[in-house]
């Protein structure tokens, strides 16, 4: 099994980071990378209500697929999907862990455990010719989530400050 795992410290709570990741409709506002779209298959269903066993409609790197949700808890959202006849298959996940590094923050973990028959392309070493690109894509998503969460946190703090000190300098 080939694993890609990116950890990013974010100065926002796990619930705030999860809210960013779960706001699928707004991805185009802040993420221009490999996750083009995600939506529950069931119409009018909130991302918080998606149950294990239900499917998603996703477009990842320009490829449409319908992965099956395997976990949707306050600390993890994960699905299992495959493309090209199982050549690239795996468990994709986002974890929202209370940080031991960033006070009141989150250790955001984003990764995939690949097990498809072509997964070796994402492995380490000379044969893993696709690993650099996959790690960069996952890393960029983490950077985008961090930027969005921390920007939203600053905006919220600014709004709260103007409520208590309307003539303060922001």
**Pair 60, 90: CB distance under 8 Å:** no
Percent of the chain surpassing pLDDT 90: 74
Residue 154's contacts (CB-CB under 8 Å, 6 or more residues apart) are none
Whether residue 144 is predicted with pLDDT greater than 80 in this model: the reply is: yes
For residues 76-86, one letter each, b for 16 or more C-beta atoms within 10 angstroms of the residue's C-beta and e for the rest, the string is ebbbbbbbeee
Q: Backbone phi, then psi, for 157, in 5-degree steps? A: -65, -40
> Does 141 or 127 have the greater pLDDT score?
141
Q: Which pLDDT value is given to residue 166? A: 63
Q: Which pLDDT value is given to residue 106? A: 98
- Overall fold of domain 2-23+71-159: Alpha-D-Glucose-1,6-Bisphosphate; Chain A, domain 4 (3.30.530)
This model's pTM is above 0.85:
yes
Q: What is the 3-state secondary structure (H, E, C) of the chain?
A: CEEEEEEEEECCCHHHHHHHHHCHHHHHHHCCCCEEEEEECCCCCCHHHCCCCCEEEEEECCEEECCEEEEECCCEEEEEEEECCCCEEEEEEEEEEECCCCCCCEEEEEEEEECCCCHHHHCCCCCCCCHHHHHHHHHHHHHHHHHHHHHHHHHHHHHHHHHHCCCCCC
Please report where in the chains the tokens 């990013």 appear, as a residue.
8
- Per-residue pLDDT of 1-17, as tens digits, reads 999 999 999 999 999 99
């Amino acid at each position: 099994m080939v694993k890609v795992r990116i950890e990013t410290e974010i100065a926002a709570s796990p619930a705030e980071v999860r809210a960013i990741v779960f706001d699928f409709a707004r991805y185009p506002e802040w993420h221009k990378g490999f996750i083009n779209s995600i939506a529950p298959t069931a119409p009018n269903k909130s991302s918080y209500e998606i149950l294990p066993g239900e499917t998603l409609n996703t477009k990842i790197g320009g490829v449409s697929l319908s992965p099956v949700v395997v976990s949707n808890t306050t600390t993890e959202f994960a699905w299992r999907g495959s493309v090209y006849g199982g050549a690239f298959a795996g468990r994709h996940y986002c974890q929202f862990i209370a940080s031991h590094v960033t006070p009141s923050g989150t250790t955001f973990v984003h990764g995939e455990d690949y097990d498809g028959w072509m997964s070796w392309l994402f492995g380490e070493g000379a044969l893993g010719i696709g690993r650099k690109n996959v790690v960069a894509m996952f890393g960029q998503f983490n950077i985008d989530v961090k930027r969005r969460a921390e920007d939203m946190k600053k905006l919220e703090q600014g709004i709260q400050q103007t409520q208590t000190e309307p003539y303060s300098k922001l």
